[in-house]
Structure 1
Amino acid sequence: MRNLDPLFTPRSVAILGASNDETKYGNWISVQALRMGDRRPLYLVNRRGEPVLGRPTFKRLADLPEPVDLVVITVPAKGFDEAVDDALAAGATAIVAITSGFAELGDEGRATQMAVAERIRAAGAVLLGPNCLGVLDTTSDLFLVSNPLPCGPVGLVSQSGNMALELSKFLADRGLGFSRFASLGNQADLGAADLIRAYARHPGTEVIAAYCEDFQDGRAFVAAAGEAVAAGKPVVLLTVGRSAASNRAAMSHTGALTSGNDVIDAACRAAGVDRVHSPREMADLVAALHRHGSKRARRVAVIADGGGHASTASDIADANGLAVNEFRPSLVAALKAELPPSAGVANPVDLAGAGEQDITSFGRVIDLVLADPDIDSVLVTGYFGGYGDYGPELAAREIATATVMAEHVHRHGKPLALHTMCADSAAADELRRNGIGVFRVVDDAARTLGMLADHADHRPAARQLPPPAEPVTESGYWDARELLKAGGIAFPAARLTTDVLAAAEEIGYPVVLKAMGLLHKSDAGGVAIGLSTQDELRAAHADMVQRLNVAEYCVEQMAGGGVELIVGVRRDSRFGAVLMVGLGGVFAEILKDVAFALAPVTPEEAETLLRGLKAAPLLQGARGRQPVDLAAAAQAVAAISEVGAAHPEIAELEVNPLLATPAGCLGLDARIVLVKN
């Protein structure tokens, strides 16, 4: 772990390029830096030596009266190289490069920034950026960003400045802000993993939010995020889903079925990271995690003050993965005693006008529901917050009821999300002041509870990559078969031969004939199955020789029936080996019933993937069939993942089909695609 104290808690700071010009970063950051007050020495450096913002300046860093820990560079790109040298000479062990004009412009700029980053690392310093918005630590009064940002418990890592600014507004609306913020920019030196690891050890940070466009070393990101989650600091990720996997030409079924988003989702599951899809979603989940932590939320009670809201909210809750289960009889009886005869009390709860007649019934109903051990969370939806419009007396009772509702939530310690069409009311404000999530749209409320439920169900499963094995140099079917056999995968008896008839006599009929040297043998007509006699084999062989002009063949014992799976490992340039498992055979790309994980996986993790497939009932004995040996299938999947992870020279490794039967598993076909040099 690199020491980032000079970046977040420097003893002294210099801004190179400080300016009075209100159109320049050198001005914006200087304005914010002055908020540090007397916390630490601040030196403004301006090549003309003119006063900036009423403060004296220095013409050069070399003129400063003492060494500085942190230098912020805002000068144009043409002066950046010299500025870095001056900063290092002035004693800086952390540099924040606001300057743009490097990798974002192409290869030449990328080479320049890499050379500068290497020089900074060689000097024992760290670089944030270039092309970044700055750095913030509200716990140490460090304000070196272009805009004022709210204070709070959230540590933000962002590759986009504007995304950070938008998130700050959403968080401020929810009463939250930042403990730390680092703008990644081009990540020439420090990356998301470095910052997340530092945030995990920062006492002032409770939740970590990250916006990343390029993960660089994805495995480092997973490791750092996993450490943060293990330390009790949830990590929420927003990303655009870029990955080399989505841009490369697919060479196998595995490649065709794997997207960049699949890889990122697998990485998030491995690390226990919560992935969101917009800044607003991020703010909602961050706020919920701040309020509730890792509390369970899956089994939800829906409470509404109208039948329409009750039914609609129940459907939306279900769509977000929440279970709106019928209440136990004792809870139904207790609710009946509190509500009018026309009220719905089975889940959802429809107060049926109780709000106007007795606003305090909201509090009693919520208390009863939260107390039930079968309920994890509550979704309130409808008009609460609007009853105050009917008169001052009802308004006062509604505000008092809001306070009571919040007290019940905190006492029971279960999540509650409240949607109201009157989100600007005094009662809604009272709920917010008491730490209750208030939403203008019921979809947002239900989605947030759904995300909380997913968070509580996370079981991080990142494993270390195995040491690299002896590299594979050949990629034919027989080579793939032998590699996988050495890794523990069983295959039918087979012979690699030019004399197919002799091989078949040795193995015994029926056999399968496979033409060698073809990437997609079935598509090319290079596989013939169920050959029961010499005549059938001779005819199939002659046909392939004529059509395919192939000399070498694999004669393989014909396997019995079972469920065909596809298992593949594909190497992603950011996250390394990624496992795919799903329903296999020739229709794998059409059915697309697949699941993903970072490789390698354990047999237990592999079994979870298999049980999560839509086709899982086929494995468990659907329609009178015998169930397959699921433990053997999971063991085979795990073994394939180990082989793929141990061979970084293999771009794609695939077994399709892997035949799962009641008696075990057999690989029936395999292929290797080597990394192109």
Structure 2
Amino acid sequence: MARDLSALFDPKSVAVVGASDDPAKYGHSVAAQALRAPDRRPVHLVNRRGGTVLGRKAATSLFEIGEPVDLVVISVPGPGFEAAVDDALACGARAIVGITAGFAETGPAGLARQQAVAARVREAGAVLVGPNCLGIADNTTELYLASDSFAPGGIALLSQSGNLALELQIRCAPHGLGFSRFVSLGNQADVTLVDLVEDCARHDATSAIGVYAEDFGDGRAFARAAAAAGKPVVLLTAGRGTASARSAQSHTGALTSSSDVVAAACRDAGVQLVTTPREMTVVLAALHSNSRGRGVRTAVLTDGGGHGVIAANAAEASGLDVPELTDTTQEQLKELLWEQSAVGNPVDLAGMGEQNPLSYATTVGGLLAADEVDTVLLTGYFGGYAASGGGLGGGGAALGAGEAQAAHEIVSRWRANPKPLVVQSMYPQSPSCRTLAEAGIPVFAATEDAARALAATTVRPAGGPPGVAPLPPAAPPLADAGYYGIRSLLGAAGVPFPASREITDEHQLLAAADAFPGPYVLKALHVLHKSDAGGVALRLPDKAALLAAFREMDARLGAAAYSVEAMADLSDGVELIVGVNRDPRFGPVAMVGLGGILTETFHDVAFSLAPVPAERAAALLRSLRTAALLSGVRGRPAVDIAAAATVIERITTVAAAHPEIAELEVNPLLVRPDGVLALDARAVLA
């Protein structure tokens, strides 16, 4: 059930405990901000010495105020924090913002103090942001309780860094972007990132949610909240480059890093994952335009060959396609342009812009109207005619006026065909470019930013529509984590395996050979990475070869048990790997990719939160670099992707239902034109 945060963002009254006249203290900054809207609600300043603060009489305690206070900001030295919280609750506070540091970030003792405070707050039916935070602000309710002010707008910014928030504000300003809310997350002792995403999703004045987070808490809950938000969520996060802290005992564990997990969660949830504040600004500016593409077919329009080539490369690097335009569209463009213009894609005005600035608008309009074009990137000199006094070839005021008219015409053409349109200009602050930006067409100075902006509105990662599959009910704990125990568990879920028998001696081996025909496979059980240890013998044609292989392997390895299995027909098949690794923040995470002995050689894998629905599993398989193998190459038939996807769903569902399994892996999963067989499986318990 979503938490009620109304007292946090629209309190009836506010008190700042620790308010100060000393500019070096945070209580001074917060108090000064709080007093920006004294007529909206009562604002009380509390300083234990009393006197005046910022020219207003300060109470020596919350009790001295003499009336209930809805929201209390606490900025006092660490030893006094708990007492201040207790006083706030006693005075009827429904929300507390804890600026004070010195809790979970300092170690176990600080964590214990923090947990005790959070428990008291919750028991009282109140909410706590922080501690160790930098305040909050809500421009829609004139609530200013952070050290800095934020320009009003539609972005809710939830950040674990105050300086990053300030940088984002600076970067957003040229794009006309502002903020509905700002919340410094702090230690998330009570109010979590998930609570805030859910509340901002319900906030009518918020059109997009920007997040900088170093600690997700419950990462899967964050993904679910973002997927259900109904508005864009853009995430900048730290610490994505190192592997999760674990002792990896499978290919899945070895190949899964924290960056893979975060990227998979974001893709599943439809979150835009970015790597820098600049990229976050670019994506937010693109999403602010409210234009969404039907596909990735991009037309590049330029007034110079170099800009066109660079823009086309940047677009493709961002996941867009820049296909050659059809003959029909090229003929239509030729009617709009002069003879030397290139119309294949990139479309190059080749100097026509200086002869007739309106050619920019007519060509943009023609491209937007073309059915084969999903999105348009205009790149180069546009904006420079007025800014540089007439452009490269001169022309003065006339060219500047013509360009201004072209800008208004581009806006008109775009509104008639509102496909994603992004502009890269050498003069992004020129009057013509400002006309575009103010109308909602994103304008950037850097080509790579323009391409990333287009991708944010058009590129849809593999995996189908956003959504996080619910975890299945927990199954009874696994009684047998050995090879045959895992085979039995997966087999009961509908995962097919070849015929097999577990054996410990030659007599049992010969009986197994009589149970089903060869050729045979012999495996040494309870041996880590059997193939690497020489614990697998394939294509044993008959009983004699099987017996010889057993004697040699047993003499060398002395395994406690072995498995005799029917050799699968590997011709026309593709070997995949399906694994699930349990992440401490996001829970079970699935990996699918090219399997067998090539798994760690090619690293051709894709990730998703588990369980993985069959539709998403099929999309992940098609996203692999080696996906052509599945569709058939060099005369080989296509394999049954639908059957593979169904089995992937079954495997990942089993793993998700068993929290005691740290790693589960089926490798290889043989996919043939006529179905699927799991050839090996193993699990590692937590």
TM-score if structure 1 supplies the norm length?
Answer: 0.96
Tell me the residue number matched to 2:656: 645
Separation in 1 of the partners of 2:359 and 2:569? 65
**How many correspondences in the alignment?**
672
Shift of 1:242: 4.3
Tell me the residue number matched to 1:657: 668
Q: Deviations over 1:359-388 (max 9, x none)?
A: 121112112221222222211111111112
Shift of 1:241: 4.3
Tell me the residue number matched to 1:403: 408
Tell me the residue number matched to 2:577: 566
Shift of 1:118: 1.4
Which amino acid in 2 is paired with 1:505?
A: D
Q: Which runs of 5+ in 1 are unaligned?
A: none
Separation in 1 of the partners of 2:241 and 2:402? 54
Q: Pick from 559, 567, 579: which aligns with 2:590?
A: 579
Separation in 2 of the partners of 1:53 and 1:151? 25
Tell me the residue number matched to 2:439: 434
Separation in 1 of the partners of 2:109 and 2:422? 51
Tell me the residue number matched to 2:520: 511
Q: Quick one: structure 1 residues 558 and 332, their matched pair in 2 at CA, closer, same or farther if it must change by over 3 Å? A: closer
Separation in 2 of the partners of 1:345 and 1:595? 38
Tell me the residue number matched to 2:273: 275
Tell me the residue number matched to 2:393: none
Alignment of 1:599-610 (within 5 A): 599-610=610-621
Q: Deviations over 1:412-435 (max 9, x none)?
A: 212221111122322222322333
Whether the aligned pair in 1 keeps the contact of 2:99 and 2:134 (CA below 8 Å) is yes
Shift of 1:475: 2.0
Tell me the residue number matched to 2:8: 7
Whether the aligned pair in 2 keeps the contact of 1:355 and 1:387 (CA below 8 Å) is no
Q: Quick one: structure 1 residues 505 and 91, their matched pair in 2 at CA, closer, same or farther if it must change by over 3 Å? A: same
Separation in 1 of the partners of 2:192 and 2:459? 27
Percent of aligned pairs sharing the same letter: 54
Shift of 1:293: 4.4
Tell me the residue number matched to 1:51: 52
Alignment of 1:76-475 (within 5 A): 76-228=77-229, 231=230, 233-242=231-240, 246-296=244-294, 298-388=296-386, 389-390=389-390, 391-454=396-459, 459-475=465-481
Shift of 1:538: 2.8
Shift of 1:629: 2.0
Which amino acid in 2 is paired with 1:44?
A: L
Whether the aligned pair in 1 keeps the contact of 2:356 and 2:402 (CA below 8 Å) is no
Separation in 2 of the partners of 1:634 and 1:411? 42
Separation in 2 of the partners of 1:563 and 1:454? 29
Separation in 2 of the partners of 1:534 and 1:434? 78
Whether the aligned pair in 2 keeps the contact of 1:219 and 1:574 (CA below 8 Å) is yes
Separation in 1 of the partners of 2:496 and 2:560? 26
Separation in 1 of the partners of 2:92 and 2:382? 60
Tell me the residue number matched to 1:552: 561
Q: Which runs of 5+ in 2 are unaligned?
A: 391-395
Separation in 2 of the partners of 1:242 and 1:419? 30
Q: Deviations over 1:262-317 (max 9, x none)?
A: 11111112211111111111111112111124343622221111122222222222
Separation in 1 of the partners of 2:358 and 2:546? 83
Shift of 1:441: 1.1
Separation in 2 of the partners of 1:584 and 1:298? 30
Q: Deviations over 1:494-551 (max 9, x none)?
A: 1112232222222333221212222322222222222233433333222333322223
Q: Quick one: structure 1 residues 662 and 434, their matched pair in 2 at CA, closer, same or farther if it must change by over 3 Å? A: closer
Q: Quick one: structure 1 residues 87 and 244, their matched pair in 2 at CA, closer, same or farther if it must change by over 3 Å? A: farther
Is the counterpart of residue 618 in structure 1 residue 629 in structure 2? Answer: yes
Whether the aligned pair in 2 keeps the contact of 1:16 and 1:74 (CA below 8 Å) is yes
1:653 alignment partner, SS class? strand
Separation in 2 of the partners of 1:294 and 1:15? 44
Separation in 1 of the partners of 2:339 and 2:64? 83
Separation in 2 of the partners of 1:509 and 1:334? 66
TM-score if structure 2 supplies the norm length?
Answer: 0.95
Tell me the residue number matched to 1:593: 604
Separation in 2 of the partners of 1:396 and 1:620? 55
2:120 alignment partner, SS class? helix
Shift of 1:142: 0.5
Which amino acid in 2 is paired with 1:616?
A: A
Q: CA RMSD in A?
A: 1.7
Which amino acid in 2 is paired with 1:5?
A: S
Separation in 2 of the partners of 1:631 and 1:490? 15
* Mean Cα deviation higher: 377-386 or 424-433: 424-433
Shift of 1:14: 0.6
Q: Deviations over 1:453-476 (max 9, x none)?
A: 125996113111100011114321
1:182 alignment partner, SS class? strand
* Mean Cα deviation higher: 323-332 or 368-377: 323-332
Whether the aligned pair in 2 keeps the contact of 1:528 and 1:540 (CA below 8 Å) is yes
Separation in 2 of the partners of 1:649 and 1:551? 25
Q: Deviations over 1:80-119 (max 9, x none)?
A: 1111111111111111111111122222212221121111
2:684 alignment partner, SS class? strand
Tell me the residue number matched to 2:483: 477
Whether the aligned pair in 1 keeps the contact of 2:307 and 2:379 (CA below 8 Å) is yes
